[in-house]
Chains A and B, each alone.
Chain A
Amino acid sequence: MSVRYIPVQWNRFKWGYDAALLASVGVFLWAFLRVTPEDLGHERDVSGAIRNARAFGACAFVMLTGILCIGPLARLDTRFLPLLYNRRHFGVVTAAVALTHFSFVLDWYFAFSPAGKYEALLFANTSFTNGVAGFPFEAFGIFALLSLLILAATSHDFWMKFLTPPVWKGLHYLIYPAYAAVVAHVAWGALLDQENTTFAWVVHVGALLVVGLHLGAALSGRDAAKPRTAGWVDAGDPATIPEGRARIVTLASGDRVAVFRHEGALSAISNACAHQNGPLGEGRIIDCLVTCPWHGFQYDVRTGRSPAPFTEKVPTYALRLEGGRLLVSPDADPPGTPQRPVPVHRGRTT
């Protein structure tokens, strides 16, 4: 939550997260680079730059595979939400590792030539129409790297607020074609190059894990049916909403509303958090404030406003009771509009 922007927001958990992440990257690279030709019975070692490019490339693939697993894992099991909380730092470190891989490749395979290395990267292999083997798989890598750089460069909270969370998330959908491009980059490059199939197994298992988790999460997270009419929407028996929790209601427009019960009264706010459009209705009320399950942004359930000095706001919705049923207004009121809470007990008596 922000009052005034600072370069990087850290807290104790994030320090731990980043430390574990960087330590794992360090251990991966160290373990990769410590294997000697003597260990393998080879007469000579792989060139240093190629060895480094492989180490950073493999590391970036494994990291990206891990990142792609976090979203669906957290969707399928909320115990993985701590991994989601600081995923942007994970992404930035991955982009840095991928960029290092690119630098080693560029300064080795495309350097030492009369042409500039960036130009050489683009013209050295132009066998675009001669089948998969020999295809310039570097092109997939360039696309993926550019995508990762865009995602890393727009990871600051400012971008989310400036672009709006839907546009920001739309831009960050780039991760999906980027990961597919990374798989193609590896499968049409390194995997066709190596006789040993161990890395091919690693890539296949990683990529299929990502595919399986995403398809699983997509199937489990299908939207609830929208009401057909555009009037007030039936949100069910209000007494069945537990204290401190919410029921998520889908409107005819497709917008989702989180109806919270707090101190025996019901209030409705947008289900989309102002920060990253996280699902507020899956959050809880802590210290009288609705708390987003993704990054802990908080709102007063009666006004949709973050507590001072924070300035975030979400739209609110009017509620009414009719025949023991709770009804939600189909129209959002502007962010931060106070609503009168509806006491639950009235629902039982009318």
Chain B
Amino acid sequence: MSTAAAILDLARAWLWIGAAVAALFLSIGIGRIDPDARGAFVFRVLLVPGLLLIWPLVLWRWWRLEKGDRWLPRYRPPSAHASAAAAMSALIMAALVLSYGARQDWPDNIAPRRITEAGS
């Protein structure tokens, strides 16, 4: 099997597991862990793409909420903006500089040249 086919099979498996998690979570889980979701059904359709994509995170949070979540971490916003901004800036600059270095001009200045005659 080619690497490309293997990657696609993995992606398919990921989405199928996500579909199973989505079915379970939207029918049983969501009402257990979020009172605001009880009796609200139309919005659940909007959650399906997210469930397909990040189902491991969903399972982890579902488990934590079933166990009884600690309340304090909920009010501790991440403080990594400066590091994230610096990393993003460095990557952007690297991408642009490398691109500039790789730019080529059509080699119009190189004319075809016969090196050796036929048969030699």
Which residues of A pack against B, CB within 8 Å? Answer: 2-8, 116, 118-123, 131-133, 146, 149-150, 152-154, 156, 158-159, 161-167, 169-171, 173, 176-177, 179-180, 183-184, 187-188, 191-192, 195, 203-204, 207, 210-211, 214-215, 217-219, 221-223, 254-255, 270, 272, 274, 277, 311, 314-315, 332, 334-335
Contacts and interface: CB of A to CB of B under 8 A. Distances in A.
Contacts of A163: 57, 61
Contact of B77 (A4, A116, A132, A169): A169
B36 A161 contact: yes
A180 B92 contact: yes
B110 interface: no
Contacts of B102: 131-133, 188, 192
A332 B85 contact: no
Given A159-B50, A210-B92, A215-B86, A173 B36 contact: no
Contact of B95 (A150, A180, A277): A180
B73 A164 contact: yes
Q: Tell me which of B75, B80, B89 has the highest count of chain A C-beta atoms within 10 A of its own C-beta.
A: B75
Nearest to B7: A122
A187 B89 contact: no
Interface of B: 2-5, 7-8, 33-40, 42-43, 45-47, 49-50, 52-54, 57-58, 61, 65, 69, 71-82, 84-89, 91-93, 95-96, 98-99, 101-104, 106
8 contacts: A5-B36, A119-B2, A153-B52, A158-B36, A176-B87, A218-B82, A315-B71, A315-B72
Q: Tell me which of B54, B85, B93 has the highest count of chain A C-beta atoms within 10 A of its own C-beta.
A: B85
B36 A132 contact: no
A222 B81 CA distance: 10
Given A156-B46, A158-B37, A215-B89, A173 B95 contact: no
Given A192-B99, A315-B71, A211 B53 contact: no
A260 to B, nearest CB: 16
Contacts, number: 188
B98 A132 contact: yes
Given A5-B40, A119-B4, A149-B49, A211 B93 contact: yes
B104 A133 contact: yes
Nearest to B33: A162
B99 A150 contact: no
Given A161-B34, A165-B77, A214 B101 contact: no
A152 B50 CA distance: 8
Contacts of A154: 50, 53-54
A150 B53 contact: yes
B35 A5 contact: no
B96 to A, nearest CB: 6
A165 B74 contact: yes
Given A149-B49, A156-B43, A218-B81, 11 more contacts: A4-B39, A119-B8, A154-B50, A165-B77, A170-B80, A183-B96, A211-B92, A221-B82, A254-B76, A277-B76, A332-B75
A153 B50 contact: yes
B43 A6 contact: yes
Given A122-B4, A158-B37, A214 B89 contact: yes
Contacts of B89: 211, 214-215
Contact of B75 (A7, A167, A277): A277
A133 B105 CA distance: 12
